[in-house]
Amino acid sequence: MLNPNSAIERVKNHLAYKLGQTVIEHRHNGGGYIALFKKLYKIKKQHKKEQKIYQQIIQVFPQLKYPSLETCSDYNEALRCKFHLSYMIGEVLIKAYQNWYKGGGFKLKNNIKKANKEFQIFREILKEFKELNGETLKAIQDNKQLFLKEFPRIKNILKTHQDYQPILDNIFHNFNYFIKNFDLIEEWLLSDDFKEKYKKENHPYPSLLDPKKLNDENEKINYHNIPAELAWKMNLPLPPNYEFVGFFLHTSGEKAMERFLKEVGVVLIGAFGYEDGKRYISIFNFLISEACACNDLKFAIGILDVNCQKYDKFCFLLQNKPVLILLRDPIDSLKSFINVRHQKNGFNEILKIDINNTDFDKINDRIVYVHESNGCFNPDTNQKFPSLESIKALSDTNHWMLMYNIRRNKTIEFFRFNKIIYIDMMDIVGDKTLFTLEKLSKILNFSSPDKNNKIFYQQLYSPLTVLLPCIIKVNNKVKIFVSNRFSVKNIQIMENCIDITDKFKEIFHENLIIFCSKDHFDSLINNQTLYNVVLEYINKFL
């Protein structure tokens, strides 16, 4: 009885296989052609009857329908059965019967000889490359004639790289694409460039296509007409439209660095996601988008964590670009981590404060410490103080923060041929920032920082940052906006206001900006009593 969960049994139960097997047995056992035709006719008739019964059964009992062949555990082995001589001769017989009225019978003898010849070729390739997977075998089956036509050249490539398993794996996993674009791929895989860049270095993820040609939009196949998912499968390096790769750990100044880079015209491309290839696909799609074609901006890839599948492959598919690594003293980083504050969920709107309200405890209620005892970020927490217990969690090698440091150090090995620049976080604090960015601009190819831009001299984050921007309502005629240099550009209303920070010289906070509309400012500056009240209130607020 046929086992519906066995793909091998089901393929061998195909009409083609049964017909071909009968022909082979007849050849071995001898007998006349009339006897053979009778046997073939009976097999065809019986097969048709079995198919009819099966269709009737599943109409009444649909749950008895056979699972698809692809879901069977022996699917790969079953595909090999389609290259057996029995199956191939059977296919010839069926085709001859279907084209009988066109003279298919007259070509039968020659077509059987041809099938025998093709069988020898397939037997050779299947014997030599036992690792051929189901995807490859299906691609060969679907493109059989093209494969046979180019077989000598295909065999040459496989022989040339028989000692370089990564490219063989790439070919076999993308065999359908390999066959359909054979001329282009052959030229690349037999080139000196491929030999030097990949084979000689024993690169674990060799590209199936020439990266130089991929970057040329005039080429038939280029980055703009290849799906990102397929590019990941074929190990194509990311499009090179970026200047460098940055490794920036949370609590090591990554937000400040991102902000400073933005000021010099560099946009960081970040991507998250654990699933296989998700980050690569996200970055790939951005790099070929119109957003990345802006001539006024430059781009860099920012890596903030290493928690994803096939992380080594992701790193190897980055182009040969400089690598910027931001460092910080681990103890300082730990202190910063457990002291991370945030506005409690539900308080995401701009804070509005009445100057008559001096109950600052209520304002303080909006602030929570978001890293709990398990060392994880929780935006819904009610934690009012930093959790010292989280230090234990952070010492666990499975925690993403420690894992980042451990894996980042291993990751540097992937970039041993790249230019690597290490920057201490303290080099982007205060007066050192401008000098550091000036130096980096020459190495990483971005604009020099504007010496008059105050943001380079300011501390971007402070305990107050999480509450800013806020609005202080003085009276019905006067409203004052308080912000910092990090968030001020995100406030649309700033366009209609003037910066009055220097009018409050008695208040010193290096990161603070105070502004209001010109009308409101005139009302304030012309009323000394009101001005003093506002000054005192802001002092208390800070």
pLDDT digits (tens, 9 = 90+) for 293-347: 777 899 999 988 777 788 889 989 998 899 999 988 877 877 777 777 777 655 5
The single-letter DSSP state of residue 102 is: G
Last residue of a domain, one of 413, 444, 475: 444
Domain CATH code at residue 306: 3.40.50
Tell me, yes or no, whether 273 lies in a domain. Answer: yes
Kindly state whether residues 470 and 327 are assigned to the same domain.
no
How many domains does the chain fold into? 2
Q: 95 lies in a domain?
A: no
Pairing, β 244-248 against β 367-369: unpaired
Is 356 inside a domain boundary? no
Positions in the chain short of pLDDT 50: 508
Within a domain: residue 534? yes
What pLDDT does residue 149 have?
87
Residue 204 lies in a domain: no
Strand arrangement, sheet containing 470-473: 351-354, 470-473, 479-484, 512-516, 498-499
Which token pair is 123?
């037997």
Does residue 418 sit in the same domain as residue 300? yes
One domain for residues 322 and 440: yes
pLDDT at 199: 96
Q: What integer pLDDT is reported at residue 493 of this predicted model? A: 54
DSSP state, residue 317: T
Encode 426-491 in three state secondary structure.
HHHCCCHHHHHHHHHHHHHCCCCCCCCCHHHHCCCCCCCHHHCCEEEECCCCCEEEEEECCCHHHC
Domain assignment of residue 351, yes or no: no
What's the pLDDT at 487? 58
312 and 416 in a single domain? The answer is: yes
Which residue range(s) make up the domain with 503? 465-541
325 shares a domain with 257: yes
Given this model, what pLDDT does residue 197 score? Answer: 93
Report the b/e string of 25-40 with b at 16+ CB within 10 A.
ebeeeeeeeeeeeebb
Dihedral (Cα; 312, 318, 320, 323), 10-degree rounding: -80
498 and 427: one domain?
no
- Containing H/E element for 279? helix 278-287
> Which pLDDT does position 403 carry in this prediction?
67
On whether the CB atoms of residues 540 and 472 are closer than 8 A, the answer is no
Cα–Cα distance for residue pair 499/486, rounded to 1 Å: 15
For 352: left if phi > 0, alpha if psi spans -120 to 50, otherwise beta; the answer is beta
433 & 475 share domain: no
pLDDT for res 228: 96
* Pair (250, 321) in one structural domain: yes
Structure confidence by residue, pLDDT tens digits, 193-251: 999 999 999 999 999 999 999 999 899 999 999 999 999 999 999 999 999 999 887 77
Final residue before a domain boundary, out of 414, 444, 474: 444
**Do 266 and 319 lie in a common domain?**
yes
d(CA 359, CA 269): 42
Q: Quote the pTM value.
A: 0.74
Give me the amino acid identity at 15.
L
Q: Is the residue at 512 inside a domain?
A: yes
Identify whether residues 325 and 256 lie together within a single domain. yes
Residues 408 and 486 in one domain: no
Is 414 in the same domain as 524?
A: no
Helix or strand run (H / E) with residue 327: strand 323-327
The domain boundary residue, chosen from 444, 476, 494: 444
**Does some domain include residue 9?**
no
